[in-house]
Structure 1
């Protein structure tokens, strides 16, 4: 069923359009880049990161470029920023199911969960 992501900017109450994101597979402490992308106007990757039948059991990492996004929005951040890049490591145990990994973030906090 695939893998998708969505980011909401809780500081402005909007989708995080334009945020840069990188997707990695991970194994034994090593990360291998799968792809980089920018979120669309809805704060989504656009297409599924992995489509039907492509997702494999294993461990993955999404890295969200939070500080660059907020700077681009005109938010004045300290140097170094409190949150720069947010990395979420997660596991896929049942690749036949859909995994949605949302991020809610501000320059000072973030949360995530397994969505639908």
Structure 2
């Protein structure tokens, strides 16, 4: 069984992306969990996942709009594959209004 977490940083302002909505979807796009990033831009998802394909979605459009900032991305989706040999996956997102980068962290 594998656990998941995420960390979102606002790269344009150099600070955590607090209050950003996050959703975990399975391979069939069924919603497994929703959460909101904490003051440090982090979420540790409660759902324990089996091997397979998943997507973490980030509500970037609403988050930027709440700050009265424009963005090109109304939503960011990061698809990834969980394997049985890894106990934890950390899906990080570096976000700015007109670009983003993601990576598998530790």
TM-score, reference length from structure 2: 0.90
- Please report how far the alpha carbon of residue 70 of structure 1 lies from its aligned counterpart in structure 2 after TM superposition: 1.3
Larger Rg: 1
Which residue number corresponds to residue 4 of structure 1?
5
Give the aligned CA root-mean-square deviation in angstroms: 1.6
TM-score, reference length from structure 1: 0.83
Which residue number corresponds to residue 72 of structure 2?
82
Q: In the alignment, does 2:45 pair up with 1:49? A: yes
**Deviation per CA, 1:55-102, whole angstroms, max 9, x where unpaired?**
310011011011211121221x2xxx5211000110001354211000
Counterparts of 1:1-116 in structure 2, within 5 Å, are 2-26=3-27, 30-45=28-43, 48-50=44-46, 54-75=48-69, 77=70, 81-94=71-84, 96-116=86-106
Q: Unaligned stretches of 5+ in structure 2? A: none
Q: Against the structure 1 CA distance between its residues 19 and 95, is the aligned structure 2 distance closer, same or farther, given a 3 Å change threshold?
A: farther
Rounded to whole Å, the distance in 2 between the matches of 1:95 and 1:74 is: 43
| Count of residues in Structure 1 that have an aligned counterpart in Structure 2 | 105
Indicate conservation of the 8 Å contact 1:17/1:42, yes or no. Answer: yes
Q: Unaligned stretches of 5+ in structure 1? A: none
Rounded to whole Å, the distance in 2 between the matches of 1:66 and 1:92 is: 24
Q: In proportion to residue count, which structure has more strand? A: 2
Rounded to whole Å, the distance in 1 between the matches of 2:59 and 2:22 is: 6
